[in-house]
Structure 1
Amino acid sequence: MEFRNKYICITGGSAGIGKAILSDLINRGASHFAIIARRKEPLKALEDEFPDVSFLLISADMGNPAEVSKAAEEIRESWGRLDILINNAGVVSAALLDEMSDEDIIGQIGINLTGLILFTKKCLPMLKESNEAAIMNVSSGLGFIARPFYNVYAVTKAGVRHFSEAMRRELKDFPIHVMTIYPTATDTPMMKNATVGNMDDPADVARVSIDGMVSGEIDVVFGGDKRLEDIRKNFLEPGEMDKVIETQFDALRERTKDHRAM
């Protein structure tokens, strides 16, 4: 896939994995980006950091259906086209379910899953008009293997995985490549309150993900052979995976006690 003449939208693109993907695509020749984020200041900072790029900067809450629709319409009015959609925006709140606020439950589902689906729906007419389009959905390793304290977050990321599968099959008659990436813990602002060591570099996650898009990968799973084996065990021997995670329960409780990025 040639990126030089592509019009690309990245949600949650002002920081973390989204910004790393932006930087990687710029290095590959892309120069037209719609970047969506909630806060205006990080969006404006992108223009100073990447002065040679043509930006359409949109401040929107991806958990608000009206703002999701408005963002898609702004792309349509400004560009009249869209070639690549990267659904990266996400939030997380880790806690025992009965200790999690209703607001954090609703917020995670709204931004991580409902907003992603709605925004994809609103962008599909433009993507269908492209001669070579792609949708990259950012899930998580927790989309394969749910762990205690990430109950709602894991549900949203598993939903992203199934949504990607459905859309890939639904869009069979269009030149739209649908793929999903599954990062492990990555050194981003979302992880600043989690007690995790040896996190992945977002630049590496971006590079491998875009390489996957270029080569036509459907799923890009991070974590190496150990993650793939754990996924296999979780699906084929869930009781055995229950036992493994039971031994990690107290450590997971300690690691996640302050992990909230909403």
Structure 2
Amino acid sequence: MQLRNARVVLTGANGGIGMAIAEALCAAGARVLAVARRQEALAPLLKRYPDALCWVAADLTLPSDKRKVLAAAEEMGGVNLLINAAGVNHFAMLEQLEDSDINAMLAVNINAPICLTKLLLPLLKQADSAMVVNVGSTYGSIGYAGYASYCATKFALRGFSEALRRELADTRVSVLYVAPRATRTSMNSATAQALNDALKANVDDPQTVASAVIHAIVGDRRDLYLGWPERFFVRLNNLLPQLVDRGLRKQLPLIRRFSEKPENETLKP
């Protein structure tokens, strides 16, 4: 897909990965409709790219706000690239989560992208070439303790992407599923970041993820899994899940210890 003059709807545009993608798209010559609840974080980009970037305030859990996005996309002259990058996460054992936390993850991470994609599909099908990009996670392929509900939403998003790609196989709309590994963004709590440090996990910066996403879009990829050895573990989990079970079992005491730490307590490995 060519990005110059592409018309893009980008959700989660004020998040770490979303904002980095927005900047990369604008730099490539695309016109971007940034969807976010608040504008403050986007202000510098809106000032830098006044002709390429515009913002619509929307809570994607609300049907009325999804219709606002549709109206803004129509006003932009249609859309040929939809990037579902909005997401929320909570690091905690399942019994530590409130129902409201679980419902928020389900609403933002899976209900919103499915319903928004459905709403925008007629516009996407009108384009000569179009793409839906769903930003998932390595945790959409590997179930991980402390992230049971989050994993459930990302597994669902991966399944949705695969099925939608097959559903649209006889159209001009393609589907790209993106699976970043741990990324340095504000979506991760201090506890989650401390756990990553304790596990010596590889953590990418948002610009690295955005650059890979842009290359995958331009290259008309169908999926993108970031990071090594994470890509290897995804394959291993598919082939020998019991082996991965044993490896992750060793991390469980550490995960439990960090999940029980108050957010305002100093965290050490």
Instruction: Give the one of 58, 61, 66 matched to 2:64.
Output: 66
Q: 1:259 to 1:168 in 2, by over 3 A?
A: farther
Instruction: Give the one of 116, 119, 127 matched to 1:119.
Output: 116
User: 1:221-260 counterparts in 2 under 5 A?
Assistant: 221-224=225-228, 226-256=229-259
Partner of 2:23: 23
CA contact (8 A) 2:82 2:132 kept: yes
Unaligned runs of 5+ in 1: none
Instruction: Give the one of 94, 98, 122 matched to 1:97.
Output: 94
Q: Distance in 1 between matches of 2:157 and 2:262?
A: 21
Partner of 2:46: 47
Q: Once structures 1 and 2 are overlaid, which stretch shifts more, 126-135 or 93-102?
A: 93-102
Instruction: Give the one of 158, 171, 176 matched to 1:174.
Output: 171
Secondary structure in structure 1 of the residue aligned to 2:187: helix
Q: Distance in 2 between matches of 1:84 and 1:221?
A: 20
Instruction: Give the one of 215, 219, 223 matched to 2:223.
Output: 219
CA contact (8 A) 2:26 2:52 kept: no
Normalising to structure 1: TM-score of the pair? 0.91
Secondary structure in structure 1 of the residue aligned to 2:176: strand
Cα offset, 1:107, TM superposition: 0.4
Aligned partner letter, 1:40: Q
Give RMSD over aligned pairs.
Answer: 1.9
Q: Distance in 2 between matches of 1:249 and 1:58?
A: 42
Q: Distance in 1 between matches of 2:68 and 2:241?
A: 42
Normalising to structure 2: TM-score of the pair? 0.89
Aligned partner letter, 2:67: S
After superposition, give the CA deviation of every residue in 1:65-114 in whole Å (9 maximum; x if it has no partner). Answer: 332233223322x1241010000000001211122100001000000000
Q: Distance in 1 between matches of 2:173 and 2:258?
A: 39
Secondary structure in structure 2 of the residue aligned to 1:136: strand
Instruction: Give the one of 72, 75, 79 matched to 2:76.
Output: 79
Q: Distance in 2 between matches of 1:127 and 1:258?
A: 46
CA contact (8 A) 2:141 2:234 kept: yes
CA contact (8 A) 1:84 1:127 kept: yes
After superposition, give the CA deviation of every residue in 1:192-217 in whole Å (9 maximum; x if it has no partner). Answer: 52222442011111111111111121
Q: 1:258 to 1:185 in 2, by over 3 A?
A: farther
Cα offset, 1:233, TM superposition: 2.2
Q: Distance in 1 between matches of 2:72 and 2:250?
A: 49
Give the share of equivalent positions with the same residue, in percent: 34
Partner of 2:10: 10
Cα offset, 1:6, TM superposition: 1.0
Aligned partner letter, 1:233: L
Unaligned runs of 5+ in 2: 264-269
Q: 1:69 to 1:223 in 2, by over 3 A?
A: same
Cα offset, 1:64, TM superposition: 2.3
Partner of 1:138: 135
Aligned partner letter, 2:215: D
**Residue correspondences, number:** 256
Q: Distance in 1 between matches of 2:164 and 2:243?
A: 32
Partner of 1:148: 145
Q: Distance in 2 between matches of 1:251 and 1:158?
A: 24
